[in-house]
Amino acid sequence: MATTASPSPPSRSIFLGVDVGTGSARAGLFDDSGKLLGSASSPIQIWKDGNCVEQSSTDIWHAICAAVKAACSLANVSGEEVSGLGFAATCSLVAVDADGSPVTVSWSGDARRNVIVWMDHRAIKQAERINSCNSPVLQYCGGSLSPEMQPPKLLWVKENLQESWSMAFRWMDLSDWLSYRATGDDTRSLCTTVCKWTYLGHAHMHQMNEKDSRDMEACGWDDDFWEEIDLGDLVDGHHAKIGRSVAFPGHPLGSGLTRTAAKARNFELGLTAGIPVGSSLIDAHAGGVGVMESVPVSDQNAKEDDKETICHRMVLVCGTSTCHMAVSQSKLFIPGVWGPFWSAMVPEYWLTEGGQSATGALLDYIVDNHVAAPLLANRAASRSISLFELLNKILESLLHDSKTPFLSALTKDLHVLPDFHGNRSPIADPKAKGMVSGLTLDTSEKQLALLYLATIQGIAYGTRHIVEHCNSHGHKIDTLLACGGLAKNHLYIQEHADIIGCPITLPRENESVLLGAAILGAVAAKKYPGLHDAMKALNATGQVIHPSTDPNVKKYHDAKYRIYRELYEQQLSHRSIMKQALA
């Protein structure tokens, strides 16, 4: 009896995104509708000593391998099914020698410590000196470089670690190093080079168009700038140490994943050699790519062909820090806000990037350093909820037991300026400090809950300041989209909606940074014509949080926002008084 073979099931298009954050490496697998199939994380080591914060690229790669294998196992996906791979990472600085081995960037001399983490502020003086040069490139960084960017950090190494400076063969943004480690291709991303290295993406594209060439020669470096800040040796060899070739995010690199990266001896990704790997994104920008088109279908259909629609949105990537990403069709120069960056996130749009250096990190600091925290942490663990969820419940109980008209009003006597790690935007003052007004001797869990709420509000007032500042300089932001760990906290998001007065859309998939990284792999695999097309196909909307309609809530937050602004003015006054006293 003849039998008919059953048709084999259609092959799946599965894209892998890898994200290296401050404390862990994560991997996520997505199908061709942008649905998360499975994700996993693995911790990474970090060394902190004052303003110096360091990591190991070797440790990071091992953590990635562990996370990828675990994610594939959880998603029941074999390595052979993955059809594209993309990387996102913090904008940390990696040093390697000619063999690709780590070069220390640490006072300790520890060879493992070859990564200066994004939040490292050792180069404040170098940043001040660079900014005093008033180079034309600075106008594309909000007027000044932050010590979190790469030129000040590079100058610090040259001035303090001469042996490391002479040994380093490549200086790379972490996400570029990951794609290089995976493919052997040293092509850098427009995202990293434009946002953190002063590369002029618009100049790059202008020269590319004039040449009508497909090569990736880096045309956007301003050699006069590097000479002026005493880093002229980085110009040598057509900028070999900082990037001879630069490409759009998602550009397919080399011949794809190398055999070594696919199957290393001790740690293996467990993937197929040759799968396409896209040029990388900074993690916050990957979050933007993973969420910016996550708007309700009705909104998409209303202005489907309107290129201006996306320009009314701002993405909040809320993690250890918060990045505020908005795009425009024309370049907008905004004092104290990074950019305009050409094609650094969405191709052929100018990117404006605001930020707060400590948000999730600040909430952790406020809570962890309170005497009531250990007992609350134990209680939260016994209920299998997070400490923040427990604090939210305590606040609801306080509202129920008090005569307060609405939850936000519980903090009428408590005000927080959240600049505990300086102000990135829009004041651009790395010397700014945090302030708390309204402390008492109360050490109860209720007092901790109130301090936690006041800190959330302080962070939200900072975001309101950024949105208002951007809109006063040409943006038309009226819709926010939020992703990242803090976006899972309903109180955090509701306070932001109430304080800013905008609806906040959450994506269907919580892991927007991983999705953004996976989209790079999809573009490299030629599954979509371009990055923006992939965003529209793979982004999907979830819940929409609307601001309160109670006019008293707006009146309350307007008053607290005024106090928030006054706290910084008081700090400047105090700084001036003490400077005169010590003169």
Peptide bond into 426 cis (omega under 30): yes
**Residue 573, H or E segment:** helix 551-581
| Token pair 């059809």 in the structure block, residue | 83
My answer on whether omega of the bond before 340 falls inside 30° of 0, hence cis, is yes
Q: How far apart are CA 174 and CA 258, in angstroms?
A: 18
Residues 266-275, mean pLDDT to the nearest whole number:
82
Length of the chain: 583
Amino acid at 332: L
Q: What average pLDDT does this structure show over 209-238? A: 80
Please give the average per-residue pLDDT across 540-546, as a whole number.
96
Q: What is the pLDDT of residue 8?
A: 43
Structure confidence at residue 141 (pLDDT): 87
pLDDT at 209 over 90: no
Q: What is the Rg, in whole angstroms, of the alpha carbon atoms belonging to the chain? A: 24
d(CA 309, CA 390): 39
The domain limits of the chain are: 14-285, 360-463
DSSP string, 2-36: ---PPPPPPPP-EEEEEEE-SSEEEEEEE-TT--E
Q: How far apart are CA 146 and CA 124, in angstroms?
A: 8
Percent of the chain with pLDDT over 70: 93
- Give the per-residue pLDDT at 12: 79
Q: What is the DSSP string of 306-323?
A: -TTGGGGEEEEEESSSEE
Task: Tell me 192's DSSP state.
Answer: H
Among the residue ranges 99-113, 262-276, 396-410, 493-507, the one predicted with the least confidence is 262-276
User: What's the mean pLDDT in 146-165?
Assistant: 97
The mean of the pLDDT values for the chain is 93
> pLDDT value at position 214?
43
Q: pLDDT at residue 265 above 50?
A: no
Q: Give the pLDDT band (50/70/90) at residue 219.
A: confident
Q: Which residue reads 């928030």 in tokens?
A: 564
- Could you read off the pLDDT of 391-401 as tens digits, one per residue? 999 999 999 99
Residues 279 and 294: their CA atoms lie apart, in Å, by: 23
Is the model's pLDDT at 1 over the cut of 50? no
Domain boundaries 360-463, corresponding CATH code: 1.20.58.2240
Question: What's the CATH number for 14-285?
Answer: 3.30.420.40
Residue 303: what pLDDT? 52
Q: How far apart are CA 336 and CA 407, in angstroms?
A: 33
Q: Which parts of 197-350 fold into alpha helices (H)?
A: 201-211, 223-228, 236-239, 259-262, 283-291, 297-302
27 pLDDT exceeds 90? Answer: yes
Task: Please give the average per-residue pLDDT across 310-318, as a whole number.
Answer: 97
If pLDDT is split at 50, 70 and 90, which confidence band does 142 have?
A: confident
The arithmetic mean of pLDDT across residues 251-264, rounded, is: 92
Cβ within 8 Å of residue 540, ≥6 positions away: 33, 34, 35, 294, 507, 508, 509
Residue 540: closest CA among 10, 31, 52, 150? 31
Please name the amino acid found at residue 122: R
Are the C-beta atoms of 498 and 547 separated by less than 8 Å? yes
**Tens digits of per-residue pLDDT, 43-97?**
999 999 999 999 999 999 999 999 999 999 999 999 999 999 999 999 999 999 9
H helix runs in 263-404, sequence order: 283-291, 297-302, 360-368, 373-382, 387-401
pLDDT tens string 494-515? 999 999 999 999 999 989 999 9
Q: How many whole angstroms from its chain centre is CA 268? A: 27
Residue 4 pLDDT greater than 80, yes or no:
no
User: What local confidence, expressed as pLDDT, does residue 149 receive?
Assistant: 97
Per-residue confidence (pLDDT) for residue 115, from 0 to 100: 98
| β-bridge partners, 247 | 189
